[in-house]
């Protein structure tokens, strides 16, 4: 198996990468969102796990 970034043989300390540089490049790709699974967008405009914050000035009556 070779480094997924540059194709060199992997280094034991950074497996499966050959160096810290290649490991950091891969991390940057994850953080930018370069690795995505294609598909339909999720429905709705809000995430149910994170509801919109309530306005404390709203009256609940």
Residues at the annotated binding site? 3, 6, 18, 22
> Residue 18: how many CB atoms within 10 A of its CB?
19
Q: How much of the chain is in helix, strand and coil states, percent to nearest 5?
A: 25, 0, 75
Binding residues for Zn(2+): 3, 6, 18, 22
DSSP structure class, residue 15? T
């Amino acid at each position: 198996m070779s480094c997924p970034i540059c194709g060199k043989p992997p280094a034991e300390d950074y497996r499966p990468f050959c160096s810290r540089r290649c490991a950091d490049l891969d991390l940057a790709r994850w953080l930018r969102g370069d690795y995505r699974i294609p598909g339909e967008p999720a429905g709705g405009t809000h995430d149910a796990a994170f509801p919109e914050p309530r306005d404390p000035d709203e009256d609940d009556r």
